Structure 1
Amino acid sequence: MSNVIEQIKQGNEIAFKKVYEQYWKTVYKFTCMFVSDNYEREEVVQEVFIKLWEIRNSLKEENEIDGLLFIITRNLIFNKTRKSMNELKLKETLKLAEEASNEMEQDLEAKDLALYLDKLIDLLPEKQKLTFILNKKKGLSIKEIAEIMNISEKGVARNLYLATKFLKQHFILFIIIWLYLNARH
């Protein structure tokens, strides 16, 4: 797939069309889980591939296109959802996702979770990433991290809070996509 990514980065529309043809149904099916209106579903799919084309210069060869499409789709859907859903409906959806994550947690393979968590950690801003790694993976206290990073303990606590909040939000989304992908097989 890295060859296709390189071709897309160079503006090769044929390579882009191949990616579109290979993935549009998957993007559409995922969108169906969150968007009920057919027109809006098609709009989301179109926006996903427009966004992919717009960011083609920043694609990395090691990126997996399906993961990138998932992230773009998820972001578009949740941006649209925030605009159109009332707060109660959003709470219900998150509650269902949380319940699904609790039910499926035992079935998820530890390796998949660790890989996904590492990918999420890599998305964190540098200070949050370092704080999280030092605290959760290395077992250092907030005071020890503050000394190492030469920032206040409150700064360390804030970085840790923001990192943990980001990881929790995206973990629930990972559970949803994992359930969807496994339901297809």
Structure 2
Amino acid sequence: MNELEVTKAIKNGDEKAFRHLFNLYYDRLVAYIATYTHDKMSSEDIVQQAFIDLWNAKDKLQECKSPKSYLYTIAYNRFIDSINKDKRRHNLLNTVYENALRDRIDEDNEALEKRVKKMNEIIQTLPPKCRQTLEMNKIKGLKYHEIAKIMGVSVKTVESQMSVAFKKIRKGFEKENLYLLLVNFLKKA
């Protein structure tokens, strides 16, 4: 059976002729599409769909033409469709990821602002000398011995004041740290 006879038979719904065409071109089409996809499995899927499309549109076949070029065109168009579908899926995933990241950054900024506000509130409740010592060290960047010299106290006194400040700050955030620990635990569960 030559290709023109096969075309006429397929157009008339002859499954045997279709199977003959499938056996004749399947491996060639897979090899052709694989040059684009570099993936045998996806190439096979594309070619199988191309044959299904050919069968579903068999009434459009021209009896005086070989189905080879029509089949290759369908397979190539199916490949292009798969690329476009992958791009749309990839773009959708990127959009979802970017939105999730943006939401996370907003949440983190809000949490940071709350923590800074709370830190300032705790610092304001410190005894005046303790607050002054902490500010000189952490804000102005002075060393303990420099602070001791300016305040006219010993380095041990500065260390003691810093220790008191850190304890009060830790205590102020104690519940929040427990809450953050619980949130992290729940996220992992």
The answer to whether TM tops 0.5 is: no
Greater helix fraction, Structure 1 or Structure 2 = 2
Q: TM-score, normalised by structure 1?
A: 0.44
Which of 1 and 2 has greater Rg?
2
Q: TM-score, normalised by structure 2?
A: 0.43
